[in-house]
Amino acid sequence: MKSVIKLTFIILVQASAIFVHAQNSVISEPVASAASTLTPASSSVKTGKQKAVIITGARFAYPLIQKWIDDYTNANPNAQIVIEARGSADPAQYDILVEAYDQDAEIKNSREYTHVARYAILPVANNKSAFSKLYADKGLNKDLINQLFFHDLYSEKKDVEVKEIKVPFTIYTRLQKAGAPIVFTKYFGYQQKDIKGKAIAGADEHLLKAVLRDSLAVSYLPLTLIYDQESKKPVAGLTILPVDLNGNGRVSDDEKFYNDLSTVITKLEDEGVRGGIQNIPLESLHLSVSKNNASPEAQEFLKWVIANGQNDLHAFGFLKPGSRHSSNNP
Q: For residue 248, count other CB atoms closer than 10 A to its CB.
A: 11
Cα–Cα distance, 309 to 305 (Å, whole number) = 5
Q: What is the pLDDT of residues 190-214, one digit of tens each?
A: 999 999 899 999 999 999 999 999 9
Output the pLDDT for position 271. Answer: 80
List, run by run, the mean pLDDT of 10-residue segments along the chain (330 residues): 38 37 33 30 47 95 98 96 80 90 85 95 97 96 93 67 86 95 96 94 96 98 96 97 94 95 95 78 96 94 96 96 58
Per-residue pLDDT at 152: 73
- Annotated domain spans of the chain: 49-330
From the CB of residue 165, how many other CB atoms can be counted at a distance below 10 Å?
14
Third-level CATH fold of 49-330: D-Maltodextrin-Binding Protein; domain 2 (3.40.190)
Rounded-to-10 torsion of CA 137, 138, 141, 146: -90
Q: Are 195 and 150 in contact (CB under 8 A)?
A: yes
| Residue 14: per-residue pLDDT | 42
**Of residues 298, 264, 289, 307, the one with CA closest to residue 118:** 264
Going 96 to 97 to 102 to 103, the CA torsion angle's sign is negative
pTM comes to 0.81
Query: Is 114 strand, coil or helix?
Result: strand
